[in-house]
Amino acid sequence: ELRAAASVLLERLQFMRQAGITFGGKRDLYEILGYERVLTPIEYRDRYARGGIAGRIVDCFPNATWRGEMELVEDEDPKKDTEFEKAWKEFAKQHKALAVLRKADLLSQLSTYSVILIGAPGDLESELPKGKPGGVLYLSPFIGGGGPGNNSTVASKQTSTAYVDATIVEFDSDTQSPRFGQPTFYQLKRSNISSVDLTTHKVHWTRIIHIADG
């Protein structure tokens, strides 16, 4: 998912650098009209916040996807709920799973990805403990974007990662690992809370659900 998101981002950047060039390179419409070639999360969020067609486009697919009820099926018998199905229903109700999934889906449209933090006992930097569904304390969505190896053009802009709440801080670099190239640690914060020391946390990948287009 992460590699697919990075590929899409690079394709967008290459397209935007060429867009607006007409008359064999003699005229740059983007420069004339004042358009940004590299859009960062803050530009997407600003356009969304202003509403209009941008807000409608971003809301459309998440609203349609998560409208109504969602059913998890383990046994095809409609008159019988398995223990797993019962546990899911209780879990979804307790943690408002549909609302969280919709929010995370929406946030992924405003950046390159979003994440859901699985709140559970133990240190956030440690592996998610295995246990019963009751061990999950909360589900919390964060807007994501950025990480090691950011494009220098994007990273140099003050809007690159300052307005996202989840960034990747470490990848699995072991070529023999089945997770080679995938995130091992994220950093989470709340950009609307001023006390960074109290709100920035390093989080193990097992406690994260990573959501990206494609």
Poorest-pLDDT segment among 21-25, 148-152, 175-179: 148-152
Report whether pLDDT(193) > 70.
Answer: no
Poorest-pLDDT segment among 11-25, 71-85, 89-103, 105-119: 11-25
Identity of residue 35: Y
Are the beta carbons of 119 and 91 closer than 8 angstroms?
no
Report whether pLDDT(73) > 80.
Answer: yes
Strand ranges in the chain using DSSP code E only, listed in sequence order: 21-22, 27-28, 113-119, 138-144, 166-171, 183-188, 201-204, 208-211
The token duo for 147 is: 């990480």
Among candidates 114, 109, 99, which has minimal Cα distance to 59? 109
Report whether pLDDT(35) > 50.
Answer: yes
Average pLDDT of the chain is 82
Higher-confidence residue: 162 or 54?
Answer: 54
| DSSP letter assigned to residue 53 | H
The token duo for 18 is: 């060429």
Are the beta carbons of 211 and 189 closer than 8 angstroms?
no
* Residue 78 banded pLDDT, cuts 50, 70, 90: confident
Among candidates 186, 160, 214, 156, which has minimal Cα distance to 44? 160
The token duo for 176 is: 């023999």
Report whether pLDDT(181) > 50.
Answer: yes
Q: Is the pTM of this model over 0.85?
A: no
Report whether pLDDT(153) > 70.
Answer: no
Residue 41, pLDDT score: 72
Burial environment of residue 127 by CB neighbours within 10 A (0 to 12, 13 to 18, 19 or more): exposed
Rounded CA separation 33/19 (Å): 12
Among candidates 157, 147, 162, which has minimal Cα distance to 202? 147
Please provide the distance, in angstroms rounded to a whole number, between the alpha carbons at the two ends of the chain.
7
